[in-house]
Amino acid sequence: MRSSVFVALALLFLYASAVGFRVLYPAERIDLVRATAAAAGLDPALVCSVVRAESRFHADAVSSRGAVGLMQLMPDTADWIAQRLGFATPDLYDPEMNLRLGTWYLRYLIDRYGRVDLALTAYNAGPSRVDQWVTGGQTAFAETAGFVRRVLRAVPVYRVVLGAPILVQITPSLLF
């Protein structure tokens, strides 16, 4: 009897740990993230990390500066991307559209700068600022540097999450 109680408590602890993990590293719409990341030639763990840092997987998120959706795209930037892709004005609250435009833009920035850290800096602060910082030998805003650190630190965690989909399947969605 004692061993069955111990096993039950151990299983409860493991499950609670998995739920806690989901609080810290939400993972929603994983199939959509994988598909849009693959279409853009990106690591899906990187995309999950950006979405976590930007919106924590809330499709209806709007920043104080007006960035919208999962990947927190500014409407003007989204219109520019949509025009390049031949789309009409995009619905940034639509998770599929937001991810499609956001992953295209992230791929564009990685190709432009040749480094993921600089691409993430540009994703957060804008390419014109990054161009000024690179040519002027300056460093990014503290907020932008923090964004880049958060994203890069979460990538290995999301590689585990994406490699063990059971973590997502056995725990509830925690979007509020």
**Could you read off the pLDDT of 34-48 as tens digits, one per residue?**
999 999 999 999 999
pLDDT tens string 127-146: 999 999 888 878 778 999 99
Select which of 28, 54, 96, 143 is catalytic: 54
Query: What is the residue extent of each domain of the chain?
Result: 28-164
pLDDT tens string 77-88: 999 999 999 988
The domain defined by 28-164 folds into Lysozyme (1.10.530)
Lookup: tokens for 1:
């009897």
Is the alpha carbon torsion for 81, 84, 145, 45 positive or negative? positive
The pTM is what?
0.86
Please enumerate in sequence order all residues whose Cβ is within 8 A of that of 70, keeping only pairs 6 or more positions apart, or say none: 29, 51, 54, 55, 57, 58, 59, 61, 95, 98, 99, 102
Question: Does residue 54 carry a catalytic annotation?
Answer: yes
